[in-house]
Amino acid sequence: MGNRSFILIMFVILFSCSFACVCHSGDLINEETNNMETKRVLEDKETKGINKYPRYFEIVKNDGTDLTVRIGEMVPDAKSYYYRLLKNGKKVVRFKNVKVDEPDYSVINAKITETGKYTFMIFINDAEYRFGAPWRIITNPIKKLINRIFRNPVWEQDVFVVKSDPNGLSKSRIDELAEKYAPFLFVDSEEHYFPASIDYLLNKEDTDESLNDLKLSLKFRHIAYGSKKKVVRRTRLTGVVRENISKILYKDLDKVLPYNGDNIGELDTIGINPFALFNGKNKREFLEKRKDNKDYVTVYYSFLPNPNLQKKEVIINYHFLYIYDSKTEIIGDLKKASHIFDRESISIVFEWDKSNPDVGPEPQSVIYGAHLPGQLITLKREDNGEEQQWRTRRVKVKWDDAHKIEISKNKEFHPIVAIAKGSHATYPVPGIYAVRPIDIIETKEPARTDKLLLPSTFLYDSKIDEIMRGNNNVISYKLKDLNLGSITSSSPNSLLAFSGYIVDIIGLTDAKFPPFTERETKIENWVNGTDDDPVHDWDPDKVDKTTQAKLEKLVKDIGGNLTKEVISKKAKEHSGGAKS
């Protein structure tokens, strides 16, 4: 009888709570929507005017030692919240109160004790949320309990930090290392989109005025997709509705994303209009036209130590950010799998013992990433040899097996990257790669050596043009530090403060920008693999012999005809693609 009574009591309480929520949810949602529209907004410090977009979460300080964030009024009229802080998934702060006081923001401070992802989970303190209605005496404590048990925050955001390490490699040594091993990129002659700067992505560089008034929206999804599907936001259950941020002008992306980076936020860039779809009239069409950025090519790098100290490894990631991913679609065609924005990378793994700092890092391997886990990738061969296949989304090539351009005069070795046409997947060698998103569908993507992208610190003459079969086939790129250890909402790389999904893909596989990919948040697993997520070890013998012979000659000819330019650091920051 005791168990039955307890069950009956719990049923009555939950039924009462559900009834009260249902009866008043319509009025509550309407009232909150109206409040969102009339809510006083924060002052925009940069323009000294009024910012028309909300600022729910601002990263104020991130310097390797201290992290400071400021939260806004995430729920209309709610002034009391509590938060949890996790460092790389481990709880550090458990339910600490924070109040939103005038002028509508509150500060949370944390010490940076390890490199990686710091997660702030913000919960509404329902006990003080609109306490005026008498039924809330019962419903508010129950809602608060539901929030805690089911981990239903009104906001959850990741912040990437890099702990200051006085015993690690200095900034100058990292810069020298990144430049010394900067990759040479080969692209297809029909490729129209090249790695770009963050300013170019935001239309702050080589500005296209037609883009400025394009309207996008930031949606806060309720479901997290992946191998472990689970609901991460059931805020409607507790009477709180997350409002999307709509009608964001493209020119204002840097005023919205760095201040509203909920990790399930999704930048909606597909914007399909069903009445105009078959005419190709959608938002991707605007970005598709922003092509051939040959004068604004930029490659970024970032440096991370392997957190597994037993490995004695440091890693340099080279990041390739794109304005548009055309897949196999032709400009002007009906949009299908293409998407706005893209990010790819390679990683060079170095062996370095910080207890013996005078000995420089030595390269051990190169990690090339391509496509999603589970997708079968096959390097096709024309010489009837055994084909190489993998489903691991990345391959590891031993440094001795990697194709490199040798600059003998400077004793430098630069790995090559064959970039697939359209998808921008990175591969160790040129060739034709067959990709199976599902086993019954196969698409082929060429990765050819028609054009060469090389660091702007190299001078070249007409001999290189002859090698590359034309004077428009050699393009210089600027190499820049991504500065992952100093990302704030107002830093030059503030776009990277957004921990939600920037790459909006049709289906359930939206993607995030660095530093919220596994190349940064799970760097040890990414470069070395796990039992559940292995890395494919590249077999240099399973390569088309004719293609390999041509590639070896090409990289030798290029390396023998390049000169490393000696320029000051200040001049380097402004250097372009100068020829001698």
| CA 563 from centroid of its chain's CA atoms | 34
- Choosing from 127, 161, 195, the residue where a domain stops is 161
DSSP state letter for 129: S
215, part of any domain: no
CA distance 153 to 84: 10
Q: What is the CA radius of gyration of the chain?
A: 26
**Strand partners for 418:** 186, 427
Query: How far is CA 101 from each of CA 76, 98, 262, rounded to the nearest angstrom?
Result: 13, 9, 21
Lowest mean pLDDT among 110-124, 218-232, 334-348, 462-476: 218-232
| Residues 148 and 184 occupy one common structural domain | no
| Residues 200 and 339 occupy one common structural domain | yes
DSSP state letter for 530: -
Q: pLDDT of 415-426, one tens digit each?
A: 999 999 999 999
Provide the pLDDT confidence category of residue 243 given band limits of 50, 70 and 90.
confident
Peptide bond into 103 cis (omega under 30): yes
Query: How far is CA 251 from each of CA 80, 247, 342, rounded to the nearest angstrom?
Result: 33, 11, 19
CA distance 54 to 514: 24
499, part of any domain: yes
| Residues 137 and 17 occupy one common structural domain | yes
> Count of domains in the chain?
2
156, part of any domain: yes
* Token couple for 204: 């702050």
230, part of any domain: no
| Residues 175 and 124 occupy one common structural domain | no
| Residues 488 and 514 occupy one common structural domain | yes
**Full domain range(s) for residue 104:** 2-161
CA distance 385 to 388: 9
- Choosing from 161, 195, 216, the residue where a domain stops is 161
| Residues 154 and 175 occupy one common structural domain | no
166, part of any domain: no
CB 399 within 8 A of CB 368: no
| Residues 97 and 126 occupy one common structural domain | yes
443, part of any domain: yes
Provide the pLDDT confidence category of residue 279 given band limits of 50, 70 and 90.
very low
Lowest mean pLDDT among 100-114, 203-217, 262-276, 517-531: 262-276
CA distance 67 to 159: 9
Task: Tell me: pLDDT of 364 over 50.
Answer: yes
Burial of 184 per CB tally in 10 Å (0-12, 13-18, 19+): buried
Q: pLDDT of 311-358, one tens digit each?
A: 899 999 999 999 998 887 777 776 677 888 999 999 999 999 999 988
Q: Which residues contact 44 (CB under 8 A, 6 or more apart)?
A: 50, 51, 255
251, part of any domain: no
CB 560 within 8 A of CB 461: no
Burial of 93 per CB tally in 10 Å (0-12, 13-18, 19+): middle
107, part of any domain: yes
CA distance 261 to 276: 31
| Residues 199 and 114 occupy one common structural domain | no
- Choosing from 100, 128, 161, the residue where a domain stops is 161
| Residues 536 and 566 occupy one common structural domain | yes
| Residues 154 and 176 occupy one common structural domain | no
Single out the residue of 448, 404, 443 nearest to residue 430, CA to CA: 448
| Residues 312 and 380 occupy one common structural domain | yes
CATH number of the domain where residue 94 is located: 2.60.40.10
Mean pLDDT of 509-532: 94
* Token couple for 180: 């010394």
| Residues 402 and 346 occupy one common structural domain | yes
Q: pLDDT of 398-456, one tens digit each?
A: 999 999 999 877 788 999 999 999 999 999 999 999 999 887 888 899 999 999 999 99
Owner of token pair 């012979």? 549
